[in-house]
Chain A
Amino acid sequence: MEKRTVAAILVFTIVAVFFLFSIFLLHPFGKPGQVQMDDYIITHTQNETGANNGVTSVVFDYRGFDTLGEATILFSAVAGVMLIFRRVRH
């Protein structure tokens, strides 16, 4: 076996053992630990934002800055594709 295959098997087993040991340190499925922020958001969405949808009010109002970063990433992906295929379009 070449050195590349041995290194790949070593990396794969280390990552698999690490993940399987650290699953059981998380909280069980269905009982989350800290819920104070989400309880505040659910009880105050209709008064402060005026929207009925909790997820949209989090995406655009309580955490709007992350949506600004995501719009920038979409724009830079389109700019990158147009830059790579510059010779094709003319």
Chain B
Amino acid sequence: MIEYIPFIAVVAMILIGLYAVLFRRNLIKIVIGISIIESGVNLFLIILGYREGGVAPIFTSLPAGTTYPEEMVLPVPQALTLTSIVIGVAVLALMLSLVMHIFRKYGTLDVQKIRRLKE
């Protein structure tokens, strides 16, 4: 049970983000919830690649006496997390531009008042 605590932290982050998406009415709070879900998924990707007692997979000035590859952390999940962070930035930029347009047209940011298509 002690060794599953990081995964429970990831699930807590995803559930907090899901609560903000489902139960809040302000559009900016929904966008913040989506960003929290993306942070939780990136954390999960990094947690998958940890080896116990390992160092970073970089060969410049290793501490003396480390046997590679048994004591190095896996490098492939870190590369996939880099891509995922950049995708999160791109999606967040487009979401915020659309929120700015909606506010300029409707005058309010309440989700339940923007339900019908405005004639």
Contact = CB atoms under 8 A, between A and B. Distances in A.
Interface of A: 8, 11-12, 15-16, 19-20, 23-24, 26, 28-32, 35, 37-39, 41-43, 45-46, 52-55, 58-59, 63, 66-67, 69-70, 73-74, 76-77, 80-81, 84-85
If over half of B's interface residues share one DSSP class (helix, strand or loop), that class is named, otherwise mixed; here it is helix
Interface of B: 3-8, 11, 14-15, 18-19, 22-23, 47-52, 57-60, 68-69, 72, 74-76, 78-80, 82-83, 86-87, 89-91, 93-94, 97-98, 101
A23 B14 CA distance: 13
Given A30-B52, A70-B86, A73-B86, A52 B75 contact: no
A15 to B, nearest CB: 6
B76 A37 contact: yes
